[in-house]
């Protein structure tokens, strides 16, 4: 495959470092609202990069579930490959790409498990069958012989926990929060002279911004 003659010009918007809001959370909210109103499918899907002690980066999509005052939260299996990486190295990066807006947002920071009670609250709000799915996929990222093994496990769980019963919150499942240390907003522009503004926190926890070469 050769894509060298495939090129788009990005001309939908611009980002001026001199007029961005003081808080990156304000800008993130504006951009997320615009992604939602532009009907970007799953704008809260983000690529999550982790790197364990083997120094080999891994990346996969997870769903942003909450933006707090300090960072972003997603949910997963703590025994997964990503969970293992995070155990070994608490630095992570998350990336949103909103094609329809010609934008990417790149978030980097420290990652840590959220409170178990908060995870349980969210788990109990999920649809019944998704709750069972979390139990089926244990340990997530482990090898399974075939699909039948998973379907049998799911069918047994449906018997053990009928629709009107409470599915226990697994100890191996819950949220992680990436506490934002830097966040970069990228707006595609014509001729590959894109706009990039990165926010980082100074020693007094004030946000400062820089424009970066594209
Ligand atoms: C659109 C989409 C959304 C996903 N959301 C999640 C999620 O929120 N949590 C999760 O653990 N995995 C999610 N996955 C699956 C992950 O990409 C990945 O396959 C899984 O978490 C195992 O990753 P790991 O082996 O690197 O730990 C999603 C995949 C896609 C394509």
Digit-coded pLDDT (tens) for 76-103 = 999 999 999 999 999 999 999 999 999 9
Q: Is residue 2 a part of any domain in this protein?
A: no
DSSP reduced 3-state for 108: strand
For ligand 1, residues with CB inside 6 Å are 42, 45, 58, 60-63, 74-77, 80-82, 140-141
**DSSP helix, strand, coil percent of the chain (3-state; round to 5):** 30, 35, 35
81 CA closest ligand 1 atom index: 27
Q: Going along the chain, which residue ranges are E strands? A: 45-51, 57-67, 71-77, 91-98, 103-113, 173-187, 195-201, 207-211
77 CA closest ligand 1 atom index: 11
Q: Is residue 129 a part of any domain in this protein?
A: no
Measured CA to CA, the distance from residue 95 to residue 79 in angstroms comes to 23
Q: Which domain holds residue 79?
A: 17-122+171-211
Residue 205 has pLDDT above 90, yes or no: no
DSSP reduced 3-state for 29: helix
Q: Is residue 8 a part of any domain in this protein?
A: no
| Cβ(37)–Cβ(29) below 8 Å | no
Measured CA to CA, the distance from residue 115 to residue 167 in angstroms comes to 19
What is the pLDDT at residue 211?
97
DSSP reduced 3-state for 201: strand
CATH number for 31 = 2.30.110.10
Q: Is residue 10 a part of any domain in this protein?
A: no
How many domains are there within the chain?
1
What is the pLDDT at residue 203?
81
């Amino acid at each position: 495959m050769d894509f060298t003659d495939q090129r788009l010009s990005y001309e939908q918007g611009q980002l001026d470092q001199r007029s961005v809001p003081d808080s990156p959370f304000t800008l993130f909210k504006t951009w997320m609202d615009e992604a939602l109103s532009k009907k970007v499918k799953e704008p809260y899907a983000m690529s999550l990069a982790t790197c364990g002690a083997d120094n080999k980066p891994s990346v996969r999509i997870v769903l942003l579930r909450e933006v707090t005052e300090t960072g972003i939260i997603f949910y997963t299996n703590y025994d997964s490959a990503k969970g293992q990486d995070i155990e070994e190295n608490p630095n992570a990066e998350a990336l949103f790409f909103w094609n329809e807006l010609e934008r990417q947002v790149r978030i980097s920071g420290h990652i840590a498990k959220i409170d178990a009670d908060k995870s349980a609250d969210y788990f109990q709000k999920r649809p019944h069958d998704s709750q069972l799915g979390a139990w089926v996929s244990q340990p997530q990222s482990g090898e399974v012989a075939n699909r039948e093994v998973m379907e049998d496990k799911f069918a047994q769980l449906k018997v053990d926990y009928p629709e009107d019963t409470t599915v226990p919150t697994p100890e191996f499942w819950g949220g992680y929060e990436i506490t934002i240390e830097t966040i970069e907003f990228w707006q595609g522009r014509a001729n590959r002279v894109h706009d990039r503004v990165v926010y980082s926190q100074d020693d007094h926890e004030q946000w400062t911004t820089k424009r970066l070469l594209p």
